[in-house]
Amino acid sequence: QQQVKQSPQSLIVQKGGISIINCAYENTAFDYFPWYQQFPGKGPALLIAIRPDVSEKKEGRFTISFNKSAKQFSLHIMDSQPGDSATYFCAVHSGGYNKLIFGAGTRLAVHP
Amino acid sequence: EPEVTQTPSHQVTQMGQEVILRCVPISNHLYFYWYRQILGQKVEFLVSFYNNEISEKSEIFDDQFSVERPDGSNFTLKIRSTKLEDSAMYFCASTPRRENEAFFGQGTRLTVV
């Protein structure tokens, strides 16, 4: 059962452009929605996270938009830079269980 | 900045052998986790551990797997009899509270041959 659907699988953006990655979830009991960034050979690192009581959260160039009724949330990277090239994973925290469920990942390439 | 440390960074083992992957979580964290990532795929939850017992485990975490916190600082994952399909990156993570930012280690790449 795929509890978190992430799209697109891969994304190519020009430097300075906006990168948008989307996730959809099924279970309304999820209560915490983080985005993780992973560079090759490294562990996932938390980028930004949101809780369901707000619709948007912005930290620097990174913004999460959250649509509770549609059960969707997205990551926007403004002014994308080559250093942003990485794999991005959305995740949900299972409300009744103590674990993160990850999306399949989006490989982002920002071309100079 | 505090971090989760994992050793070794790479482990090669023969099929059927036992391996122990080691982790030192962040010192004031209370919840500990193991996740794995098969090459090119998503990160999958294996097990969570709190108050010296398993609080949640996935279907992947069968009888071949066990976790232990043998002292106040280490958190280990043991695979009793490794299979080829156990080859993956194994990540340890810890959180200070139940629903909080999970800090991940750099991972141990396990290769079963």
Residues of chain B with pLDDT > 70, as a percent, come to 97
Dist. CA A59–CA A73, nearest whole Å:
15
Domain that holds residue B83: 5-112
Suggest the residue from B59, B104, B109 to mutate for an interface test with chain A (most A CBs closer than 10 A): B104
Q: Where are the domains of chain A?
A: 4-111
- How many whole angstroms separate alpha carbon B68 and alpha carbon A42? 24
At the top level of CATH, which class does the domain A4-111 belong to? mainly beta
CATH number of the structural domain spanning residue B100: 2.60.40.10
Position B97 scores a pLDDT of 76
Please list, in sequence order, all residues whose beta carbon lies within 8 angstroms of the beta carbon of residue B38, skipping any fewer than 6 positions away.
B44, B87, B88, B89
Number of domains, chain B: 1
The answer to whether residue B1 scores a pLDDT higher than 80 is no
Cβ of residue A9 closer than 8 Å to a chain B Cβ = no
Closest to B42 measured CA to CA, from A96, A6, A74: A6
Which residues in chain A have their CB less than 8 angstroms from residue B42's CB? 89, 102-105
Predicted confidence band at B93 (pLDDT cuts at 50, 70, 90)? very high
Report the pLDDT averaged over residues B23-32.
92
Q: What tens digit of pLDDT does each residue of B61-85 get?
A: 999 999 999 887 899 999 999 999 9
Q: What pLDDT is recorded for position A22?
A: 98
Residue of A nearest to B88 (CA): A41
**CA A13 and chain centroid, separation:** 16
Ranges of chain A with pLDDT below 70: 1-2, 95-97
Confidence of residue B20 (pLDDT cuts 50, 70, 90): very high
If pLDDT is split at 50, 70 and 90, which confidence band does B15 have?
very high
The pLDDT of B86-103, averaged and rounded, is 87
pLDDT of residue A28: 82
